[in-house]
Structure 1
Amino acid sequence: MEFKKVFEDELDHCYAIMRLKDNDEDFIVVASEEDSPCYAYDLNNNYARKTVWSSVGGTMTMVQIPGTLNFLATQKFYPGFNSPNCRIVKEKFNGNDWDQVVIGDFPYVHRFDVFPKSDESGYWFVGCSIANSKKNAEDWSDPGKIWVGEYDDDNEQVNNLHALDFALTKNHGYKRMAGYSLITGVQGIFKLQHPTATSDWQLTQLSDIETSDIFSADINQDGHPEYLTIEGFHGPYLRISDENFNTIKLSQPETPFGHAIWGGKLIDGNEYFIFGWRSGKQNLELITSDQLDTQLIDEKVGPSNVTVYEKNGREYLLSANRESNKVAVYEISLN
């Protein structure tokens, strides 16, 4: 597999990323975690850059409203993890760029999601706070919460917002699955089942190992998903587990500040993981087996988040290379 860098732009402390596509319009969006811009790059116009906002960054998460070029994003998640002023905004596409509406204040919410209800009557909201309150950035004495509710896109508000009866310390990871979400923290990995006509939100513990982030892919091609997890808050361990969370391979602590994580099918039809860390070698790597064999994609870039997308029959990797302050796109091809 070959990864060739085909685009790069400078963005201070670039962090959150998203593919934003609807009908013929097609963008990649990258936002800073500092008081810095959010940019949208037009994939139909040679990555021409539009400014979504010019300041008030602190963005950890961005979520597209299905069927539109509108999206929700966190802002003001700074400084560090001491973020009592964190908020969620809605960016509304006006045909040229985006207009902003503030949805509300969501203190310490690091990850959130909005997704359609199964009966298509609206949207569910999930928000995971990294803490409930803090005396300083290193104070973890008041654990975070899992907030749930209903997102009303017409009125641009979250209704029936309430916290589940559960305290979650140092939440960092979140992954939407089919009918449920995976949520991680010091207490381990949890499965949050989404409501149905006959059941409410249900939270089940899948692992008690402290976990920072999680992704799934059938990396050994056995027809069953494996899980890649970053362990310890921001690393340094990597673990590959089977679908029942039995360990297949645990790394040595050589990936400090593990952060970027993705899994899925690539151009050769097989599934892989992509992983990057923000300290030490600051590498971006392709994980090619359930034994954590790797191929170097880029080095000394310190990626924060990555995703893979397809455009005009070609496959690309988008990486927010935070430690080098670069937005980067790599074209993926067979050797």
Structure 2
Amino acid sequence: MEFNKIFSDQLDHCYAIMRLQALNRDFIIVASEENQPCYAYDLNNNFNKSTVWSDIGGTMTMVQIPGTLNFLATQKFYPGFNSLHCRIVKETFNGQGWDQSIVGEFPYIHRFDIIPKTKDDYWYIGCSIANSKKNTNDWSDPGKVWVGIYKDKPQKITALKALPIRITKNHGYQRMAGYSLITGEEGIFRLDYPTKVDDWQLQQLSSIATSDIVATDLNDDGQLEYLAIDGFHGSYLRMYDNNFHTLTRTTKETPFGHALWGGEIKDHNYFLFGWRSGAQGLKLIKNVDLTGDLLASHLGPSNVLVYQKEQQQYLLSANREANEVAIYQICDK
């Protein structure tokens, strides 16, 4: 399998990425974590670039509003992690570009999501990296998991409340089938959404400090495996089985582990992993013993995803340390 770069563009500190596909339109959205632009690349028009916003970046998370070309995004998650004035904005597609409206300020929100509830209402999940800070390095007041209802009309989050848990240095969030995984220094948690019978349910799955987590059936046994980065921006990977028992943990450091993805490539399941210090590599993980192929070095990816268009698969990588948005065509050798 080969990954051949077919597109490259410069974006300072590129970070958040998203495939935005609806209404016969198809875009890749990439935003910076600094006071820099967010760009849209038109996949139906030879990657033609347009500017979603030109500044006020600091974007950690972007979430599509289902069935539309509209999306929500965080902004102002800076300086560093001292993001008291972090906010969520809505970008509304007007046929040519996007119009911005401000949903509200949500201090220290690092990851968030909306889960369909009714036609115009969504469950809101917001994970704060801290609850308050005296300075960037102050972690004495752990973050919270906030839940509520996002009403797309009139673009507001209501019934907001914090769940009875505190999570230090939240970094990871992964939407699964019917629930979400949330990670931090206290470990890995499963969050189940409300039903007619139960309210929000939170269950701890691991007590090992975790930065990020993704899942796929790597060994084709019908059960999920989970790939996690140990510690906040940690230097080691851990493979869990479906019951969150450790299968493998790396011994070689991959400092500032950050980019994770899991899913199907060329009829097999794989994980992708990128780290932002040292060799700043991007690795394709093929086996539960964490072996695989180093695809590239000196990129320092912040986030990666694989997408398919017209029977062809592509890898989108926000190569943060190279200030590069890159798209690779995935081909058989």
1:240-288: CA deviation from partner (whole Å, max 9, x where unpaired): 1100011111001411000000000111x11000000000000011001
In the aligned structure 1, how far is the partner of 2:95 from the partner of 2:277?
Answer: 40
CA distance in 1, matches of 2:18, 2:116: 18
2:312 aligned residue (311, 314, 318): 314
User: Using the alignment, how far apart are the partners of 2:108 and 2:153 within structure 1?
Assistant: 25
Report the equivalent of 1:76: 76
CA distance in 1: counterparts of 2:63 and 2:230, whole angstroms: 25
What is aligned with 1:247? 246
C-alpha separation between the residues in 1 aligned to 2:111 and 2:45? Answer: 31
Report the equivalent of 2:302.
Answer: 304
Aligned position for 2:111: 111
SS at 1:304's partner residue? strand
1:15/1:121 Cα in 2 relative to 1: closer, same or farther (>3 Å)? closer
2:172/2:184 contact within 8 Å kept: yes
Name the TM-score, length of structure 2 as normaliser: 0.99
CA deviations 1:3-25 (Å, max 9, x no partner) are 00110000000000000000210
Distance between the aligned counterparts of 1:321 and 1:163, measured in 2? 34
Per-residue Cα deviation, 1:118-160 (whole angstroms, up to 9, x for no partner):
x656210000000001111110000000000000001000010
- How far apart are the structure 1 equivalents of 2:151 and 2:56? 24
Does the C-alpha gap of structure 1 residues 253 and 134 become closer, same or farther in structure 2, counting only changes over 3 Å? Answer: farther
Deviations 1:162-189 (A, max 9, x none): 1111111000000011111000001000
The residue aligned with 2:27 is 27
- The residue type paired with residue 7 of structure 2 is F
Matched residue, 1:212: 211
Aligned counterparts of 2:193 and 2:161: Cα–Cα separation in 1: 15
Quick one: distance in 1 between partners of 2:296 and 2:103? Answer: 38
1:61 pairs with 2:52:
no
- Distance, in Å, in 2 between the alignment partners of 1:272 and 1:69 is 29
Q: What is the rounded CA distance, in whole Å, between the counterparts of 2:285 and 2:265 in structure 1? A: 12
Instruction: Give CA-to-partner distance per residue, 1:202-224, whole Å, 9 cap, x none.
Output: 10000000000000011111111
Aligned positions of 1:122-133 closer than 5 A: 122-133=121-132
Counterpart for residue 146 of structure 2? 147
- For the residues of structure 1 that align with 2:265 and 2:329, how far apart are their CA atoms? 11
Equivalent residue letter for 1:167: R
Match of 2:4 in 1: 4
SS at match of 1:323: helix
Q: Secondary structure at the match of 2:301?
A: coil
Question: What is residue 237 of structure 2 aligned with on the other side?
Answer: 238
Q: CA-atom RMSD, angstroms? A: 0.8
Q: Which residue of 2 aligns with 1:270?
A: 268
- Could you tell me which runs of 5 or more consecutive residues in structure 1 were left unpaired when the two chains were aligned: none
Task: Give 1:167's aligned residue.
Answer: 166
Q: Provide structure 2 residue ranges, at least 5 long, that are not aligned to the other structure.
A: none
Equivalent residue number for residue 291 of structure 2: 293
Percent sequence identity over aligned pairs: 64
Mapped partners of 1:121, 1:43: distance in 2: 28
CA distance in 2 between counterparts of 1:65 and 1:297 reads 33
1:115, distance to aligned residue in structure 2 (A): 1.6
Following TM superposition, the consecutive aligned residue runs of length 4 or more in structure 1 with deviations greater than 4 angstroms are none
| One-letter amino acid of the counterpart of residue 37, structure 1 | P
Q: Number of matched residues?
A: 333
Change (3 A) 1:28 1:121: closer
Question: Structure 1 counterpart of 2:204, which letter?
Answer: Q
Contact 2:129 2:144 in 1 (8 A): yes
Equivalence for 1:225: 224
